[in-house]
Amino acid sequence: MNIEERFRSDAIRELYSYWLTLRGDRPAPARSQVNPTAMTQILPHLGLFDVVNNPRRYRVRIMGTEVVAWYGCDVTGRYLDEIDLGPDPAPVFAILDHVVATMTAAHMMGEYMKQDGRQIRYERLVLPLSSNGQETDMLLGASVRTEPTP
């Protein structure tokens, strides 16, 4: 199954389509190509992350208002390893590391229990950005809250 066949939400589909257009024939577009006004319907679901090396960490540069609302707080400016991503965040970091290393998109569906007892279910798309066309220096993503499957 190709990645697009896995998408459930319109926001995820729209972001992926926009990223493909920006990417063209390169592995990843640059952050400077991303125009927020071109994706106003996706903005509430967006996240933008700096990739920090040695050691590898991910700093939240921007977090959309919808994500902030269902996550429970604004984590802008913090590192992902400092926030509550559930009891075992290792798979999330493995996927982010894979996107950075391969400069390819990653899609995931998941759920976890936050420390405050709230269940978080989501669909997420993570996309590489590269200012030099050679290495991933930022990640662009969208997260959409999902409901339990009946």
Predicted pLDDT of residue 52: 97
* Other beta carbons less than 10 A from residue 66's beta carbon: 18
31: left (phi over 0), alpha (psi -120 to 50) or beta: alpha
* CA dist., res. 106 & res. 99, Å (int): 7
Write down the pTM of the prediction: 0.90
- How far is the C-alpha of 117 from the C-alpha of 139, rounded, in Å? 28
pLDDT tens figures, 44-91: 999 999 999 999 999 999 999 998 988 888 999 999 999 888 788 889
